[in-house]
Structure 1
Amino acid sequence: MAQHKKVLVSVINNISTDQRVEKVCNSLFKNGYEILIIGTNYNGMPPLNRPYFTQRFKLIFQKKFLLFAEFNCKLFVKLLFQSDKNTLLLANDLDTLLPNYLVSKIKKIPLVFDSHEIYSELPSIQGRFAQKVWRKLEKYLIPRVKHFYTVSEGYADFFEKKYGNRPLVIKNVPLLNIASCKEKKRTIDLPENTQNKKILLYQGAINSCRGIDKMIEAINFIENAQLWIIGNGPLKKDYEKLCIKLQVENKVYFFGEIPPKQLRQITPMADLGLSLEEDGGLSYRYALPNKLFDYIHAKIPILGTYLPEIKNIINENQIGEVISDHSAFEISEKIKFLISKGKKYYLTNLEKTSVKYNWEAQEIILLNIFHQASK
């Protein structure tokens, strides 16, 4: 067993819907590590039911820059006084890395870094002063991180080329035995579907460059279908207004955030999963979203974007179709084609792919990283 038993996990969200952090912490916890996740009240404080310790800072500021500053100051103090010689630090994304790095140096304790994305290349900060700040932090910190992993080979290639430090890849995939992670009773109200309309599903953040507005435009050209959008984000109200403008509000349903265990009941109900990210910079170009694998494990075919990581998963495993552009015509035609094929057509390949990409296999890599960090 590892010499270091306690892991302080930092993440700037409210913990409740971060499936990657939950899987990592569950894996470490069941292998003998004492876990404390430190998060925030950003977007609320939904109830948590975890077998390990959690703490969420009640932040005064909920806007980006002030939120980051407040959280990082509080996080630095928390880590400094909570850690000891038997502690490992786990920073999730660049926005938590600086205080973790400083405390790891002050206390001479190991630091592990999980980069969920290329933070300095996110669409929301393109061309802004904030991008220069994050790039400087990235340039200083990334080469100095010894124990480092990320979600896709594209991201790993970027970090290696840019900073000479190649992380290991731990894909954000579900457990193979995902059925055991479902709630027994569904508490989410679903739209009426007395006419057995086909259900098109998007799950994830409601941000720019996710292709959500293009999905909404495309639904106008598809008969006998509903679009379910599960998640939250800054553009939700804008997209709700777009539905009214295009007169598709009776075909598009916004669910808000749904706890992962409830979501695992709803995703398999869909006829098709959508992952239509646009090329909003390097972070999106090489993204490998967890929703892609959630769809696979729910045994629903996928309509995906032409971006390389997503395209490769779909084409190599023959589990759906890939759009060539983001026009409403292209998207609607591909959706019609997939609906005409039906879920059963893709079922065998989806079953094979779910066995190929599962958390149990990724967990082996994760535990080895923490074992090496504990030496």
Structure 2
Amino acid sequence: MKSVLIISFSVIHSDPRVMRQVRLLENVHRVTVAGYGRAPDANIEFIALNKPPTGLLQKGIWAGKLLLRAFESYYWRLPQVRHAQHRLAQRSFDLIIANDISALPLALELAGNCPVLMDAHEYSPKEFDDKLLWRLLFGPYHHDLCRRYLPRAAAMTTVCQGIADEYEREYRVQCKVIHNAPLDQKRSPSTVDAECIRLVHHGSAIRSRHLGVMIDMMKYLDARFTLDFMLVETDAAYMAELRAAAQADSRIRFIEPVAMQDICQRLNEFDVGIYLLPPVNFNHEHALPNKFFEFIQARLAVAIGPSPEMATLLRQYQCGVVAESFDPQALATVIQKLDAAAVSGFKQASNIAAQELNYERSGQLLLAEIERLG
């Protein structure tokens, strides 16, 4: 049994990918988790990290450091990094898992002689490269962190092949793919009402995801189709805008989100999981998100735009439809052709796919990497 430290500058109990690491390892190794929020309900030691609010003066100082390319000074003086150093400095572990580039320099400093496994949830250097300020300040900073620290990690994993290829091309590191798939939910497809085909989208109300395109899509669908949004209100102003945009269409509802572990059970009541994500930046272009696998684990048909990572798996398992473009009408065109028999067929295909696209399988890749690292 190894002592394993998992570091993530995220709210641990609501971070699906980190929680899968926790669930995979909690009864196999002695696990310590450092991150934000309350302790998750798990067999681990939890170290809560602080991220105090930042005033305008401090933001100005940090922006100056980023503009001057003082990246090392910027990173090591971040309060959450300093707090983590203080809490963990005297500890020793057999393995450290660093989630995202923001945790990797710290993990390497704490590691001593133990190996560090880096898990990249995104392609960090281009995470928000559709925004000018981000390109000026944080893009070069993340690139510098990747250039300096990725080659020092003993192993690296990420969420999809397109992102793995880009890390390998740009930083000459080997990167294995572990999908964001939940455990096999062992559910059965629900029946489809030919007169009411229920579409659903779930996730966070994040402006950069352009969720309004799915509201626009409903204009082109007939009365058989309804759309439910199950959104976490991370941006109250944006959520209000979405509600206002949907107000004129009684077929669109906003339903209460459920706990992470209950998502697939709730989704199982619906028929088609939809996601139309315009490729406004690199990570959106290569998106293969939790929700795609949750649609499949809920045994839904899936309807998406031509996002290459999602489309490749959808076509492999033949569990839904792919629009020709990211235009709302293009997605409506392929959904409009669906009837109850087609949706039922896609649900059965998802039922088969769910037996392969799950964390029982993906997690074995992480376990194998941990065993390989000694």
C-alpha contact 2:122 2:163 (8 A) present in aligned 1: yes
Find runs of 4+ consecutive structure 1 residues off by over 6 angstroms: 62-68
Whether 2:356 is the aligned partner of 1:361: answer: no
Distance 1:338 1:123, change over 3 A: farther
Q: Which of the residues 85, 88, 98 maps onto 1:91?
A: 98
Quote the residue 1:318 is aligned against: 318
Whether 2:121 is the aligned partner of 1:116: answer: yes
Distance 1:284 1:270, change over 3 A: same
Quote the residue 2:47 is aligned against: 55
How does 1:121-200 map onto structure 2 within 5 Å?
121-123=126-128, 126-178=134-186, 197-200=196-199
Q: State the TM-score, normalized to the length of structure 1.
A: 0.83
Superposed CA deviations along residues 49-80 of structure 1, whole A, max 9, x for unmatched, are 22223233343227997898222221222232
Distance 1:28 1:246, change over 3 A: closer
Superposed CA deviations along residues 178-207 of structure 1, whole A, max 9, x for unmatched, are 56xxxxxxxxxxxxxxx9843322122332
How does 1:1-375 map onto structure 2 within 5 Å?
5-31=2-28, 33-41=29-37, 45=38, 48-61=40-53, 69-81=78-90, 83-84=91-92, 86-104=93-111, 107-123=112-128, 126-178=134-186, 197-222=196-221, 223-232=223-232, 234-245=234-245, 247-248=247-248, 250-255=250-255, 257-373=257-373, 375=374
Query: How many Å apart are 1:270 and its aligned residue?
Result: 1.4
Query: How many Å apart are 1:239 and its aligned residue?
Result: 4.3
Mapped partners of 2:88, 2:249: distance in 1: 47
Mapped partners of 1:339, 1:55: distance in 2: 51
2:31 aligned counterpart, secondary structure:
strand
Mapped partners of 2:294, 2:105: distance in 1: 31
AA aligned to 1:371 is E
AA aligned to 2:117 is V
Query: How many Å apart are 1:257 and its aligned residue?
Result: 4.9
Mapped partners of 2:288, 2:245: distance in 1: 32
Quote the residue 1:189 is aligned against: none
Mapped partners of 2:250, 2:164: distance in 1: 42
AA aligned to 2:230 is I
Supply the RMSD in Å over aligned alpha carbons: 2.8
AA aligned to 2:97 is L
Mapped partners of 1:256, 1:213: distance in 2: 18
Query: How many Å apart are 1:268 and its aligned residue?
Result: 0.7
AA aligned to 1:89 is I
Query: How many Å apart are 1:160 and its aligned residue?
Result: 0.8
Mapped partners of 1:343, 1:269: distance in 2: 13
C-alpha contact 1:12 1:39 (8 A) present in aligned 2: yes
Matched residues, number? 347
2:209 aligned counterpart, secondary structure:
coil
Query: How many Å apart are 1:92 and its aligned residue?
Result: 0.7
AA aligned to 1:279 is P
Query: How many Å apart are 1:21 and its aligned residue?
Result: 1.4
Superposed CA deviations along residues 23-71 of structure 1, whole A, max 9, x for unmatched, are 211111222x111221113xxx5x7322223233343227997898222
Mapped partners of 1:339, 1:326: distance in 2: 22
Give the unaligned 5+ runs of structure 2: 63-73, 188-193
Identity of paired residues, percent? 19
2:147 aligned counterpart, secondary structure:
helix
Mapped partners of 2:249, 2:33: distance in 1: 39
Distance 1:50 1:56, change over 3 A: same
